[in-house]
Amino acid sequence: MLALFFILFSMLSVARAQPCGAIATLQRIEGIVKVQPAQAAFPLRDVQVPHGLCAGDKVFTLTNGKALIIYDAGELVLDNSSKVTIIQAQQLNLDEGSAVFEVQRQAKGQELQAHTPLIVIGVKGTRFLLTSQDKNTQVALIRGLIEVQRQDKQEMAYYQTKPNTDVLELSEQERLEFEQFVKNRGQEFAQFAEQRRAEFSAFVQAIALQEGLQLSLGERDAKYIALEAPISDELEQQHNELAQWLN
């Protein structure tokens, strides 16, 4: 599982101070949403919003859940079946699931950085959707500009979608491989299909993701791959649903 976590370099203020020193606020919930305080064995019962979140707190959304977390730098809408850990004032972990981040423009030198075990995203006031599931991570940039690079500064195989996406000729072997992917690894289907339509660009340390594009990050054949493509309908729809919760 790729844990996706964010380091906020700016000091965040919270809406409602808590005894533990709340650094974010659970502002709105829908469905079943649980908050498990740091070091606690069990989640809190009957959480009422707004609820101050302290360092180490975890926010879980179940299948039908959704949550809005606000902080000074912006807002985060957590989709269902997701988990966020409030590590500290500058760092949130998206351990699992999906979330839309709305980050306000930061002062120079105080930009937000998004980290995963493999990548770092530099954020300069923007909105993006992150999904982290199993071994796949996707970043869809709705607005603004972000830069993505690996944590270890190693190069990624950077693929970009071909201008003419209508042409897709597969050899027999590729067709079988394609079908096998669809059959066994449905979650990677879209990524694979996009990769078939994409062409290798270069091995790069950092990728500047443009607005309207998504970057699918995964590993195939022991190589780390970053696949750039227009935001898919699926991610677009997911963003639209979550974005309704943004203030």
Partner 1 sequence: MVELKQLLRGKLVLYGLAFLLLLLVYAIAQNPRPLVQSLAGELSDVYYSFNSRQPPPELVFLEIENDSVRQFGRWPWQRKILAEGLQRLEQAKVIGLDMLFSEATRARHDLALIQTLAQLPVIGGLFLNGPMSSELDEAAWSALADSAILGVQHSGLIASQRIELPTPQIREALPLLAALNITADDDQLFRHYPVAFQVHDLVLPNLAVQMWRLAKQQNVQLSAEHATLGAQYLPVDAQARLRLNFYPTDSWQRITFAELMQDDWQPERVAGRIVLVGISEAGVTDIRATPLGQIPGPLIHLTMLGNLFDGSLLTPINGLQLFSLMCVSLLIGIWTWQLRLPVVRIAVWGLQAVTLCVLGLLAYKYFNLWLEVFYPIVLLFLWLVLGEAWLFRISTAETRYLRNAFSSYVAPTLVNKLVKQGEDLHLGGQRQQLTALFTDLRDFTPTTEALDTEVLVQHLNAYFGLMINRLHRYQGTLDKLIGDAVMALFNAPLADEDHAYHACLAAAAMMQALEEFNHRWPDDPIRQLRMGVGINTGEAIVGNIGAAGRFNYTAIGDAVNIAARLESATKEVQQQWQQLPAAQRPCQRVDILIGEATYKAVKDRLPCYPVEELVLKGKSQPLPAWVLDWQKMVQDSVL
Residue 6 in contact with residue 23, Cβ under 8 Å? no
Counting contacts by CB under 8 A, is residue 48 touching partner 1? Answer: no
The number of residues in the chain equals 247
Q: Which of 11, 40, 170, 182 binds partner 1 (CB under 8 A)?
A: 40
The torsion defined by the Cα of 189, 194, 195 and 198, in degrees rounded to 10, comes to 170
Nearer to partner 1, 106 or 131 (CB): 131
Counting contacts by CB under 8 A, is residue 30 touching partner 1? Answer: no
Taking residues 92 to 121 in sequence order and writing x for each that binds partner 1 by CB under 8 A, - otherwise, the string is ---xx-------------------------
Counting contacts by CB under 8 A, is residue 60 touching partner 1? Answer: yes
Nearer to partner 1, 83 or 239 (CB): 83
Residue 77 in contact with residue 246, Cβ under 8 Å? yes
Rounded distance, CA 177 to CA 233, Å? 24
Counting contacts by CB under 8 A, is residue 144 touching partner 1? Answer: no
Counting contacts by CB under 8 A, is residue 36 touching partner 1? Answer: yes
How many residues at the interface with partner 1, by CB under 8 A? 20
Nearer to partner 1, 55 or 157 (CB): 55
Counting contacts by CB under 8 A, is residue 32 touching partner 1? Answer: yes
Burial (Cβ within 10 Å: 0-12, 13-18, ≥19) of residue 153? exposed
Rounded distance, CA 209 to CA 86, Å? 26
Q: Within 13 Å and on the Cβ side, how many CA atoms surround 208?
A: 3
Nearer to partner 1, 28 or 197 (CB): 28
The angle at the Cα of 205, spanning 126 to 239, to the nearest 5 degrees, equals 30
Nearer to partner 1, 45 or 108 (CB): 45
The phi, psi pair for 141, rounded to 5°, reads -90, 115
Binding site for partner 1 (CB under 8 A): 1, 31-32, 34, 36, 39-43, 45, 58, 60, 62-64, 81, 83, 95-96
